[in-house]
Amino acid sequence: MNRRSVLIISALGLALLPSHAIAQQKSLKEQLVGTWMFVTSADVQKDGTKVDRWGPNPKGMLVFDRNGRYVLVINRSDLPKFASNRVDQGTAAENKAVMHGMIATFGTYSVNEADKTINTQVEGGSFPNLHGMGQKRIITSLTEEELKYTNPATTTGSTTNAVWKRAK
């Protein structure tokens, strides 16, 4: 094989690499940036009891921006409409159903590449007890299209394994 053939074959080989090689070179944080849609989660209480917190067809969105800010919202698809049609006049039962069937937080995040964790600092959201608190998610799988993580300490006292798909 002459030198020119080797160069052409090498160039062709490198041209085929970028999509896979570039993805491997990105940091976890770079791979997380974007919008993710909630798929499902499996909640397990400390006694081993499994809880279906989100019911059928849950809705949710998780956004990580390049500047280290995030927003997370998950809710059940079967939340009741308020009879009064006013957010400030829900009945006790309506308010309870909404609090049991949704979570929303926003704030800042960082990624620990070594232990594959996402660490959030909650600035606000639907559960005031989290304001000012840090939360940790352990990334169990991350591809271009799917994010899976474990939340070892949810707001309901369980551990959860969540699955998200990249928004299109």
Position 4 scores a pLDDT of 54
Q: What is the CATH number of the domain that holds 162?
A: 2.40.128.280
Range of the domain at 104: 27-166
Q: Does residue 4 form part of some domain? A: no
pTM of the model: 0.82
Q: Percentage of the chain with pLDDT > 90?
A: 80
Predicted confidence (pLDDT) per residue in 106-125, tens digit: 999 999 999 999 999 999 99
Q: Does residue 159 form part of some domain? A: yes
Q: Is the pLDDT of residue 8 over 70?
A: no
Strand partners, 111: 118
Q: Does residue 21 form part of some domain? A: no
Single-letter residue type at 157: G
Counts of helices then strands in the chain (DSSP H, E): 4, 9
Reported for 123-129, long-range contacts at CB under 8 A and 24+ positions apart, including other chains, are 125/72, 126/99, 126/102, 127/103, 127/155, 129/155
Interatomic CA distance for residues 21 and 13, integer angstroms: 12
How many domains are contained in the chain? 1
Q: Is the pLDDT of residue 17 over 60?
A: no
Q: Does residue 12 form part of some domain? A: no
